[in-house]
Amino acid sequence: MDKANISELIHFILQSIHLIKERFAPINSSDDFLANNDGLMRLDAISMRLQSIGEALKNIDKKERDFLLQVADKTYWSKIIKTREILTHHYIDIDAETIYDICSEKLDELEDNILKLQSKL
């Protein structure tokens, strides 16, 4: 994978993080996802973006494994890619609390790491 392809994927991931943050902004607890149709739509939209982020990282890892390791260890990236697998193949097992925790506790760190990767291109 050349730098242009990686750059496109990095841009997509950053755009997805931005959209997740916008969609997550009115959510104050995991229960807000389940309170009404708007919450459910936000849960679905955020889950799809998280799945897409995992897919983009999986593609980068497959083609340029050492690139991701420049900013975080294999375990860190593996957890994100495994989240994509769960969202793709076991969506019914995902609960609102898991998505809430990812958005409230892990998204900023992911964004920081993706920005670090972007600076290495």
Residue 58 lies in a domain: yes
Torsion of CA 84, 90, 95, 96, to 10 degrees: 40
- What pLDDT band is residue 6 in, cutting at 50, 70 and 90? very high
Residue 25 lies in a domain: yes
Domain assignment of residue 67, given as a range: 6-119
Residue 1 lies in a domain: no
Residue 79 lies in a domain: yes
Domain total of the chain: 1
Residue 80 lies in a domain: yes
Q: What is the tens place of the pLDDT at every residue in 65-116?
A: 799 999 999 999 999 999 988 888 876 767 999 999 999 999 999 999 999 9
The residues near 115 (Cβ < 8 Å, ≥ 6 apart) are 14
Residue 36 lies in a domain: yes
Residue 112 lies in a domain: yes
Contact between 55 and 4 under an 8 Å Cβ cutoff? The reply is no
